Structure 1
Amino acid sequence: MKKTRKENREHKSRGAIAVEFALVAPVLLALVTGIVEFANAYNAQISVTQAAREAARTMAIKNSQSDAKAAAADGAPGINSSAFAYSFSPATCTPNATAKVTISYPAATLTGLFGSSVTLTGVGAMRCNG
């Protein structure tokens, strides 16, 4: 039985749709993966920055690095605070100086498509005894 022109066009159209999907799907999947990875890294960045702020606040009030580290861990409940690397400047708080705490955190990526980890840095500063 011979196919009509309409049936031939529909059959060719299905093949074209499959080819178009094969061309577009990898780009779409890469875009979605990038969005998810960015959202995960941004969420961790917000947590690290909040931890640095809490550490700076505690350092300015209590002048204790161990208390500041504990406050940082409490200020970032969603991430592994044991991986934090701290930098205190100055090491002790003097009146009217600024306590600056920098926290670095190696955040793991979800898919590994863009690397296995990314180092995030959060900075908090507060006037001592203020």
Structure 2
Amino acid sequence: MKSKRLRSERGAAAVEFALVLPVLLILIIGIADFGRAFFTEISLAQAAREGARVMAVTKDAGQATAAAIAAAPGLNPALGGGNVAVPGSCAAGSQVTVTITYSYASVTGFFGPINLQSRGAMRCGG
């Protein structure tokens, strides 16, 4: 009697594993995708702060754009000049705001492209 009962339960574990595996895989891939999106958001914030800092110190929009792009080397696809909005001037005592927009493409495709935006601000002449 006992061996017959064990033999019938052996297949139950395989069926339970087959039911749980897709949910577990989606959960793990979702966690990794969220981590990648969070990394992208942090990189964009750092790039915007760096662009604002360079613009406030040098008052050169070209250098500020280059600094913002260089501050986010881990992004794939990389930032381009079209992603970074730097104001043309920076008067002493005023505030400069650098805005970066970036389209984040999900690895899984469940979330679709998400438009992320980050701003960095600093007082000019600092």
TM-score normalized by structure 2? Answer: 0.89
Structure 1, gaps ≥5 residues long: none
Q: Please say which structure displays the higher CA radius of gyration.
A: 1
Instruction: Find the counterpart in structure 2 of residue 74 from structure 1.
Output: 70
Contact kept in structure 2, 1:83 and 1:105, CA below 8 Å: no
Q: 1:36-51 maps to which residues of 2 (within 5 A)?
A: 36-51=32-47
Q: Is 1:11 matched with 2:11?
A: no
In structure 2, distance between residues paired with 1:83 and 1:94 = 23
One-letter code of the match for 2:48? A
Q: 1:75-90 maps to which residues of 2 (within 5 A)?
A: 75-79=71-75, 80-82=78-80, 85-88=83-86
Alpha-carbon spacing, 1:19–1:83, altered in 2? closer, same or farther (3 Å): farther
RMSD across aligned positions (CA): 1.6
Structure 2, gaps ≥5 residues long: none
Instruction: Find the counterpart in structure 2 of residue 122 from structure 1.
Output: 118
Task: Give the length in aligned residue pairs.
Answer: 124
Report how far residue 27 of structure 1 moved.
1.2
In structure 2, distance between residues paired with 1:14 and 1:114 = 38
Report how far residue 87 of structure 1 moved.
2.8
In structure 1, distance between residues paired with 2:115 and 2:30 = 17
Q: Any runs of at least 4 consecutive aligned residues in structure 1 with deviations exceeding 6 A, and if so which?
A: none
TM-score normalized by structure 1? Answer: 0.87
Q: Give secondary structure in 2 for the equivalent of 1:31.
A: helix
Contact kept in structure 1, 2:50 and 2:67, CA below 8 Å: yes
One-letter code of the match for 1:96? G
In structure 2, distance between residues paired with 1:43 and 1:103 = 15
Identity over the aligned pairs, expressed in percent?
46
